[in-house]
Amino acid sequence: MTVKLFRNCREVTALVLAGEDRRLGVIERTAVQLHLRICKACPHFTRQVALLREALPRWRAYRDGGE
């Protein structure tokens, strides 16, 4: 079995989004971390996903009348 640690941006963004729905495996998390160290764009995307994750519950509370 071959372990693919070096992923391209498309694969990493897919993994970052998948990480919102499930816990990534050790190899997947390592691949993402390695990629984030060498890529300039993907860390920005990762921060944007985190911002959306934080903002969504606040937006839902606002939409529902501040419950």
Task: Please tell me the distance from the alpha carbon of residue 35 to that of residue 24, in angstroms, as a whole number.
Answer: 15
- Tokens of residue 8, six digits: 């391209």
Q: Provide the pLDDT for residue 60.
A: 87
Average pLDDT of adjacent 10-residue blocks, the chain of 67 residues: 85 96 96 96 96 91 79
Q: What pLDDT score was predicted for residue 2?
A: 74
Q: Is 60 helix (H, G, I), strand (E, B) or coil?
A: helix
What local confidence, expressed as pLDDT, does residue 43 receive? 96
Cβ neighbourhood burial of 35 (10 Å; 0-12, 13-18, 19+): buried
Measured CA to CA, the distance from residue 58 to residue 49 in angstroms comes to: 15
Q: 45 with 16: CB under 8 angstroms?
A: yes
Average pLDDT of the chain is 92
48-60 pLDDT, tens digit each: 999 999 999 888 8
Residue 50 DSSP label: H
